[in-house]
Amino acid sequence: MNQYITGAMIRELREKRGLTQAELAARLHVSDKAVSKWENGKGYPDVSLLEPIAQAFGISISELVSGKTVSNMNVSANMMRSKFYVCPVCGNVIHSMGEAVIHCHGVLLTPAQPEETDEEHQILIENVEDEYYVRIAHEMTKQHYVSFVAALSMDRIQMVKLYPESNAETRFNIRGVRRILFYCNRDGMFSVDVLRAIRGRRS
């Protein structure tokens, strides 16, 4: 447990909640001496206390064991602020609209940081009636491929899963779409402004 929950962290969380050691001890049904030992690095809480400690501090167990608390200042954040977490073990893709603490296969995931498209990750966007036709100039082998494409607008996200040995192309409903993201399993996430890309193609 000592690599996950430090005494300094317990003290910081306790003080943020305005609790004394005795008050925290009472909530956890342990002695205040036990809490003092934790905070002084002379002992660590038993694993069975993880959930009660997290509840006492008003955080999740994931936040507690990761040492990173999450504070969403804007709970009604729009989809343009979407974050994508991709598991390096299984390729699982997890979407959130704000800060989150996310684990998959025992790995603490960090949100993929989108970069502007480059010469090796070119994207074609065409306006076809009420849809955007999207094609990515990228190989789709079992070793190197685009795993998903997402279209973001203020109020919605459209996401398509792609698979190796298929075509790196899809269609999205045009309404409100401002940005398109795609994820390369080797090089990470790329992003393009839709209107800018279409204007660039026409010029």
Q: What is the pLDDT of residues 59-112, one digit of tens each?
A: 877 777 776 666 555 545 578 888 999 998 888 999 998 778 888 888 888 899
CA–CA dist 147, 179 (Å, integer): 17
Helices 50-57, 21-28: crossing angle, 10 deg rounding: 130
Given this model, what pLDDT does residue 1 score? 39
User: Can you tell me whether residue 135 is helix, strand or coil?
Assistant: strand
pTM of the prediction?
0.65
CB 123 within 8 A of CB 182: yes
Given this model, what pLDDT does residue 200 score? 67
State the average pLDDT for the chain: 86
Domain boundaries, the chain: 7-66, 115-202
- Domain 7-66 sits in CATH 3.40.50.720: no
Q: May I ask the CATH class of domain 115-202?
A: mainly beta
- Tell me the pLDDT tens digit for each residue of 143-173: 999 999 999 999 899 999 999 999 999 999 9
Instruction: Say which range, 51-55, 77-81, 100-104, 135-139, has the weakest mean pLDDT.
Output: 77-81
Q: Mean pLDDT, to the nearest integer, of 192-200? A: 83
Burial, 27: exposed, middle or buried (Cβ in 10 Å; 0-12, 13-18, 19+)? middle
